[in-house]
Structure 1
């Protein structure tokens, strides 16, 4: 048997419990058979297994579960990926059907596993429903505007630099600049900084707090067009030309959207779990672990499991980059939660 077949079979066995769970749920619905009706508007029948329809949405859901596509991403029914995942879905249905014929679902261990899978599915559906209602366009825009009002904008500087290995060479270049020589040309010819040399010494826009102290000290009061230096830095001497000064530009709503959705999602999940735990009577029947001498200790500053990520600072560069989920977070933010 080919290696790909083993992989496909492994995935099929890994999801068989979920398939069986869905079979049990359907069987409990008064014997109604809605399999031939599209489960989603515009859904397409793509295969049949013993007269039971496989829908395009079934295949797409499996592709999302395997991490082959993201939630909300399209999956062309004519693509090789779709056909490969469709074959896996068919295999899952065949395996689940055979398991039911052999009455494996009647085994007590199997029933506990099916019940656990059912609880996971229902829990995920509750979270998706809660998030879908709360994480909408108004909430996203509201948090964005709130952050814009609270944020403090720093000043950005656009500058170019020439880095020389010695003060003598730096003074010589400074004299050439004084005679009208091109700063960009001298940077390309003389600078030893490989990161900026070949683009004319361009440092782009930056705030001085992210630069080494020598830059902050020398550029703090520099005016646009002024050439500053030479001043000593790590690895040599720098001559810097200030090209522009401006207020730091806030990140756009679209760039910040992924971070905002993520924050709002975890905020909703945290609140939901806190409410459920507050209403329920939860007892832990096992003893707390004893301290072992020499074992690593969790720092006192570690966040609680349900604390969620901090509110994003939308005006800082890179604010829209995804943050790791908080400990214990049950889901990734579903893309369908955002309603235009």
Structure 2
């Protein structure tokens, strides 16, 4: 199953700002510290009389890529304790920054505003995408792709590879006398990747095989031996073991790809709608803030006179 990924350069990974959400909470201290952020949440620590919840630690682990979105994190695990220590450190650093008044600077306010906007944007994306990526939507797209998919034939091939054409001709002669292909492959093939499995290349479509092999095998029935065929690695003798229609992926196998496609498609459509409604101006040559007008010049004062040294008196020649 092949789903084209939408091309939209402004897309961000969904919920990628969980770490920033934690940092904002620590830095700003907004909201009721004792209200559980999630259902059945647990208090796992207290820092300066403020609660640290299990969900805070899990969001930090997700932000660092240590666990997947929606994946549980056991509060008794070593990973949880390590991430909890990092969350505690972050809260201590944020509290000290507030004590020193660093949160009052214009730079801090600007950065906190940017974090706040990103969190709100991600929450909007989460709410919109959660409706688009439903079990019904996944199954509907899977069935649609199944209807459009073109059935491809796969072939199972065995290989005996030789360095020279004379060696490959000798292999054909031995096979013609009734020798088992698998045994000859184990004895004479120079392809170490397949010789110990009787030359078995497994199932594949002709498109993924070397062009010379595919040309020789096209139209051949199971059991046919073809070659010698010259390829990049030497001279090949091939036998077709089986032909079958390519097995399409199951719904469970295709689900991760479909969910990813629906997620990006949902975000793309949302951003297209928002950009279509909003007035957005982009300045590729940003204008600098207007410089302060120079003070109006006053009257020009005459330059002070520079005293000139008097010429020495003329000397009398002796």
| Aligned mates of 1:195, 1:243 — CA distance in 2 | 18
Give the Å deviation of 1:18.
Answer: 2.1
Unpaired runs of at least 5, structure 2 = 1-18, 287-318
Residue 185 (structure 1) aligned with residue 183 (structure 2): yes
Residue 18, structure 1, aligned to residue 29, structure 2? no
Task: Give 1:92 deviation, angstroms.
Answer: 1.6
Q: Is the 8 A contact 2:20 2:119 kept in 1?
A: no
1:257 is matched with: 255
Alpha-carbon distance, 1:138 to partner: 1.0
Counterpart CA distance in 2 for 1:134 and 1:14 is 25
Local SS of the residue matching 2:29: helix
* 2: CA distance, partners of 1:106 / 1:173: 83
**C-alpha distance 69-22 of structure 1, shift in aligned 2 (>3 A):** farther
How far did 1:22 drift? 5.2
1:159–1:204: 8 Å Cα contact kept in structure 2?
A: yes
Distance in structure 1 (CA, Å) of the matches to 2:178 and 2:96: 85
Runs of 4 or more consecutive aligned structure 1 residues displaced over 6 Å after TM superposition: 13-16
**Deviation digits for residues 166-186 of structure 1 (CA, Å, limit 9, x no counterpart):** 222222222222222121111
Please give the alpha-carbon distance, in whole angstroms, between the structure 1 residues aligned to 2:136 and 2:227: 50
- Match of 1:287, SS state, is coil
SS class of match (2:154): strand
> Cα distance 1:176–1:43, how it changes in 2: closer, same or farther (>3 A)?
same
Write the distance in 2 (CA, Å) between the matches of 1:129 and 1:14.
18
Equivalent position of 2:270 in the other structure: 272
CA drift at 1:52: 1.9
**Equivalent pairs, count:** 268
Q: Show CA shifts across 1:267-292 (max 9, x none).
A: 1111111110111001123339xxxx
In the alignment, the residues of structure 2 paired with residue 143 and residue 137 of structure 1 have an alpha-carbon distance, to the nearest angstrom, of 10
Name the CA distance, whole Å, in 2 between partners of 1:22 and 1:257.
Answer: 39
Hey, what's the Cα distance between the residues in 2 that align with 1:17 and 1:249?
A: 48
- Residue number in structure 1 paired with 2:7: none
CA contact (8 A) 2:27 2:95 kept: no
Partner of residue 3, structure 1? none
Give matches, 1:57-136, under 5 Å.
Answer: 57-136=55-134
Contact 1:15 1:92 (8 Å CA) reproduced: no
Report the TM-score, using the length of structure 2 for normalisation: 0.79
**What does the per-residue CA deviation read over 1:282-333, in whole Å, with 9 as the maximum and x for residues that have no partner?**
1123339xxxxxxxxxxxxxxxxxxxxxxxxxxxxxxxxxxxxxxxxxxxxx
C-alpha deviation, 1:132, in angstroms: 0.8
Indicate the residue corresponding to 1:161 in structure 2. Answer: 159
Compute the displacement of 1:23 (Å).
Answer: 2.0
Superposed CA offset, 1:6-28 (max 9, x none): xxxxxxx988852346524x2xx
Alignment RMSD = 2.1
Which structure has the larger Rg?
2
Would the aligned equivalents of 1:162 and 1:190 in 2 still touch at CA under 8 Å?
Answer: yes
8 Å CA contact retained: 1:21, 1:115: no
Q: Distance in 2 between matches of 1:140 and 1:203?
A: 34
Give the structure-1-normalised TM-score.
0.74
Structure 1 unaligned regions, length at least 5: 1-12, 27-32, 289-340
Deviation string 1:144-200 (CA, Å, 9 cap, x unpaired) is 111111111111100101011222222222222222212111111100112212211
5 Å-filtered alignment, 1:291-302, equals none
Q: Which residue among 35, 39, 42 is the counterpart of 2:40?
A: 42
